[in-house]
Amino acid sequence: MGIGDIVYMNMMGQSLVVLNTAQAASDLLDKRSAIYSDRVCAPMVKNPALSLPDQPFRLDWSGFAGMLPYSDLWRRQRRRLNNWLNIRAVRQFDHLQQDVVRSMLGRIHDISGSTELFEKVKHQFFFAMASATFRLAYGYHIQSDQDPFFLDAVQASDNLFAATMMGNFLVNAFPALSYIPQWLPGAGWKRIAKKWREHKNRAVDTPYEWTKNQVASGNFEPSVLSALLQDEKIDQGLSQEERDKELKELAYVLFLGESGTGTSATALVNFVAAMVLNPEVQAKAQAELDSVLGYASRLPTMSDETQLPYIRNLILEVHRWQPVGPTGGPPHACYQDDVYQGYNIQKGTIVMGNLWAMTRDEAVYQDPEHFNPDRFLDPNIPPVPTYGWGRRKCPGMHFAEASLFLAISSLLTNFNFLRKKDKEGKEIIPTIEGSCNSLAVPIKPFEFELRLRSKDHNQLILDNVTAKSTNVSVSK
């Protein structure tokens, strides 16, 4: 195979197929999802072969939905998530996201005139989006970015994504190292993994037991986990031990999706970059918001979404202009031998989409480097498959999109994102560059200014901020 719709590579014995067009990705990952929904996990994360017994020097994330092979357990976990995160059911959590976003507005208001603005704003985005998913999963309000639950969960996620990167640990490139004794040179990864596994167990177990106790006492906030704990029908035939294990892994995977890659937070940073580079887009979006909400009259809610089509198209363009996940999520694996366009794809082949190539396809997106929300006025222009394909599409996508809508519309309602000026008063146009971070591609820091639109908007924020006691530091 050559450069084109599909590219084949062999990396140290592992076959890899990269799909460079939306058509190829749809043909395989959507239309043939029954055989392209498997997973291949790094040996550092789980046993590379079922013949190996469970070992304490592995992280053992093998039971988490995003890493499960295409199996009955995966189907059961997916069914649980779909029951509570489908487009209708997720609306019951709108108030949760609104509270988190309004609290974020207050904190960004407080740092708007400070130095090192990029890192501080990015941290507030991450804390807000991660807090929302933690509350969705457990019904627990993270009190600060020093909250033990939050710190444990973030560290466990960081460890996991470090473990999945091929170059970080030799065992990922040479699975045979799994068999060498722990005391031999080259087996230091086993000690690291053992330590990380113990940390992972604490991060997963502690919030699960907290929610379980809250439900038992009758004093709990509605969440995905609290609902699942009360719904025994879906778990008929499982022992209590099996049920506990599956539910605690399921709850944590909701938080993992945001904390591990910072997908929503990274999208918000990309939005800021787009506004700084395209002030005319920002002005047009604010005009639409003012026409629907009134000037500094109120903050947006999810009920306003249908009346704000330009904001919706702006979010679609953020996803296209700077795709957060270059592969649309973790790579798929072929479940059985297949043939596509005359090429043989063997069972076990890793298959991934190339979102960057898709978003730069000039046959689909005219002038792809230009940020233009109006391109989506054409019903023939497809949205980017940000949340993946087929049966492995992110189950939390509706919650994530609602979070982005509330955050972006609220930020534009109240703030202007501006270019900095040099000593001569000339605007400095920032250069936007990406930096690879495994499953996500965050952009490198750039300079900008953040100002309230008016004194009336200052008062609007002060009147609406919730959870003012939340104490979040402005440096990471």
Nearest-angstrom CA–CA distance, 59 and 46 = 6
Nearest-angstrom CA–CA distance, 360 and 363 = 9
Residue with tokens 């580079």: 277
User: What are the structure tokens assigned to 295, written together?
Assistant: 């000037």
User: What are the structure tokens assigned to 96, written together?
Assistant: 């949760």
Question: Please, what sign has the CA dihedral across residues 225, 229, 231, 237?
Answer: positive
Nearest to 321 by CA among 465, 434, 190, 472: 434
Residue with tokens 């702006």: 314
Instruction: Concatenate the DSSP letters of all residues of 103-164 into one string.
Output: HHHHHHHHHTT-SSHHHHHHHHHHHHHHHHHHHHHH-----BTT-HHHHHHHHHHHHHHHHH
For residue 221, CA distances in Å to 204, 250, 413 come to: 19, 18, 30
Under 8 Å between Cβ of 385 and 361: no
| Residue 266 CB contacts under 8 Å (≥ 6 apart), including other chains | 324, 440, 441, 442, 443
Residue 463: which region, alpha, beta or left (left: phi > 0; alpha: psi -120 to 50)? alpha
Nearest to 310 by CA among 284, 329, 331: 284
For residue 249, CA distances in Å to 77, 156, 236, 245, 436 come to: 9, 13, 18, 6, 27
Angle, CA 254 vertex, CA 248 and CA 255 arms, to 5°? 95
**394: annotated binding-site residue?**
yes
Nearest-angstrom CA–CA distance, 163 and 193 = 8
Residue with tokens 């006492």: 217
Q: Helices 279-293 and 397-414 meet at what angle, rounded to 10?
A: 90
CB environment 312-324: b (16+ within 10 A), e (fewer):
bbbbbbbbbbbbb
**Which residues define the annotated binding site for heme?**
394
**Which residues define the annotated binding site?**
394
